A and B are shown apart, each in its own frame.
Chain A
């Protein structure tokens, strides 16, 4: 049995753990951010109990039969896990899942072996998810960011069980890898459903977007549980699956004089409300709507804001006045009677931005890469960024970026750019862009990466989980062209 030591990591949890795509529970000073998290994205749940009369949910005859083995011993274990879990949180019943599952089990590190064994036992029994399901992005990419042999070695050593992970997901009914993405709801990936549909997803940013913008009903689940629910096609009803669990305890009163960095705004909200549900006003002026829904450009803004609320806090659901479906339908009636208010004006926004410190190991070094796309880019974001970079290069008469520009999205989205804008795609490649499939935080979290990489990003989620530094769009273009940071 070998024992390795890990120097230099204990004070840097965010950059050490390679798998965080969810709320970390630690603030920027390394302190726990809350002690009341349920982990569901809502603080709903049992608050009291009778030790002599534990809560039990009501099951249908079919569900009871499954528990008794009508569909085999493995399916009985699947449902037993779900039922016991739900009863701990006061669930009264199980709901049938709609849509399709989405799983956040995507990193094939050796320690996930017991979970893979659980999934393999399920696959060996011939069971599959009730619908083809999506998976978070691959944490490694050997073709683009993995061209560097040092980084490729890091990827292969850290994710030594990746092949086994892909294999079991394939057996259980995962979609092809060109659609693996944290943003499973992108039109090109297509994991979405009608508002009100109960689905089984894990991945904080997807749960956050699905609940809030799509009006789905999703409890933020521990990794593994979402697949078990997908096998059974059932989820326990508690938390944000209930009407009461979707009420807002915070009014976020945004009074900014200009359009914010959406990730930074989300960071401010998440840090304040932690896990409780915010009702946000004052930002609809920057959200384009089409047919009563946020348009495809707004999708990127809400994705950026929401994912930051879910990483700087653990927000699983937010409402935006005049924008999100439940806010359009119910307005401020979504606020509980004793809600609290948090005003974000220009001064507060600046205060929060100023807390984003430089965490590069060499804080005075030059940047080594620009990372765009955490969560994964939408097609509209790919077009926006590609045109922005391309125009800046032309204006400066420059053929190549000074440092690599790494853009992360699923292959189906990248292929759409190639299909719709082939010259732009070609020119971006020639300039040194890398179109990758990776999860940026997982890539940045590889052991040793912080020693060799000083990245900048447009994502406050990626900043939160790694040492990447956050900049605005214009600054990022200049950094890509010059290889220097402006401040």
Chain B
């Protein structure tokens, strides 16, 4: 496939290569990790948000999440920190829109207090989310450039 490049704002830099996990619906953080948060599961992270038709049931452990923004309980930030600590949090989060305060708090607290980085780029634009498909090869560069393909 032909490569396409986007550039967003660097929230937390890093170089990551992998496959895209895409949700065009807002990502409900606490709603998506319930089996990990409340049943103690640590070997995988099947998305438990039944309203998210794209991700429901898929393993999102270690994902490069491509999403518009996150929604949900103000516990959502804490949930990101907790999921990263038990090894099932995302490897990277790529936002088409400006990051929301819940996700921002989660990735910053995990990074600063637990030294567990979730590479985070936001403001990638609506076209980014229209372009990227589930499973697409994706490369994130330190300067906030994201290559699809």
A residues touching B (Cβ–Cβ < 8 Å)? 1-6, 9-11, 13, 16-26, 30-40, 45-49, 51, 54, 77, 80-81, 84-85, 88-89, 104-105, 109-115, 117-118, 121, 158, 202, 204, 219-225, 447
In the complex, B9 has a CB within 8 A of chain A:
yes
Which of B14-22, B58-66, B105-113 is the interface stretch?
B105-113
Chain B 76-132 residues near chain A, CB threshold 8 A: 76-79, 81-86, 97-102, 104-106, 108-110, 112-114, 122-123
Residues of B contacting A39 with CB < 8 Å? Answer: 71, 74, 76, 100-102
Residues of B contacting A37 with CB < 8 Å? Answer: 26, 69, 71, 100
How distant is the Cα of A22 from the Cα of B74 in the complex, in angstroms? 6
Given A23-B72, A45-B98, A80:B112 Cβ within 8 A:
yes
Residues of B contacting A111 with CB < 8 Å? Answer: 36-38, 79, 82-83, 86
A224 and B71 contacting across the interface, CB-CB below 8 Å: no
Question: Which of B7, B69, B104 counts the most chain A CB atoms within 10 A?
Answer: B104
A19 and B69 contacting across the interface, CB-CB below 8 Å: no
B residues touching A (Cβ–Cβ < 8 Å)? 7-11, 25-26, 28, 30-31, 34-43, 48-52, 56, 68-69, 71-79, 81-86, 97-102, 104-106, 108-110, 112-114, 122-123, 143-144
Residues of B contacting A110 with CB < 8 Å? Answer: 40
* Residue in B35, B51, B104 whose beta carbon sits within 8 Å of that of A88 in the complex: B104
A20 and B73 contacting across the interface, CB-CB below 8 Å: yes
Q: Could you count the A-B residue pairs with CB atoms below 8 Å apart for me: how many are there? A: 207
A-B CB proximity, top 8 nearest? A25-B71, A222-B77, A222-B105, A39-B101, A25-B72, A114-B85, A22-B74, A111-B82
Given A51-B7, A88-B11, A88-B104, A23:B73 Cβ within 8 A:
yes
* Residue in B42, B69, B101, B112 whose beta carbon sits within 8 Å of that of A219 in the complex: B101
Residues of A contacting B75 with CB < 8 Å? Answer: 19-20, 22, 104, 222-223
Given A24-B28, A30-B51, A224-B81, A89:B34 Cβ within 8 A:
no
Residues of A contacting B123 with CB < 8 Å? Answer: 48-49
Q: List 27 A-B contacts (CB under 8 A).
A: A1-B42, A3-B40, A20-B75, A25-B71, A32-B26, A32-B71, A35-B69, A35-B97, A45-B98, A49-B9, A81-B109, A85-B105, A85-B108, A88-B99, A89-B101, A104-B74, A111-B86, A113-B85, A115-B81, A115-B82, A121-B113, A221-B101, A222-B104, A224-B77, A224-B81, A225-B101, A225-B109
Residues of B contacting A51 with CB < 8 Å? Answer: 7-10, 143-144
Q: Smallest Cβ distance from A293 to chain B, in angstroms?
A: 28
B73 and A24 contacting across the interface, CB-CB below 8 Å: yes
B49 and A13 contacting across the interface, CB-CB below 8 Å: yes
B72 and A225 contacting across the interface, CB-CB below 8 Å: no
Q: Smallest Cβ distance from B86 to chain A, in angstroms?
A: 7
A6 and B35 contacting across the interface, CB-CB below 8 Å: yes
* Residue in B37, B84, B86, B108 whose beta carbon sits within 8 Å of that of A84 in the complex: B108
B101 and A35 contacting across the interface, CB-CB below 8 Å: no
Residue of A nearest to B31 (CB): A13
Residues of A contacting B74 with CB < 8 Å? Answer: 22-23, 39, 104, 202, 204, 220-223
How distant is the Cα of A31 from the Cα of B86 in the complex, in angstroms? 28
Residues of A contacting B102 with CB < 8 Å? Answer: 39, 222
Known: A9-B34, A17-B31, A109-B37. 19 other contacts (CB 8 A): A1-B42, A2-B40, A10-B48, A22-B75, A23-B71, A26-B72, A35-B25, A36-B69, A39-B71, A46-B98, A49-B9, A85-B104, A85-B105, A88-B11, A111-B36, A222-B75, A222-B76, A222-B105, A222-B106
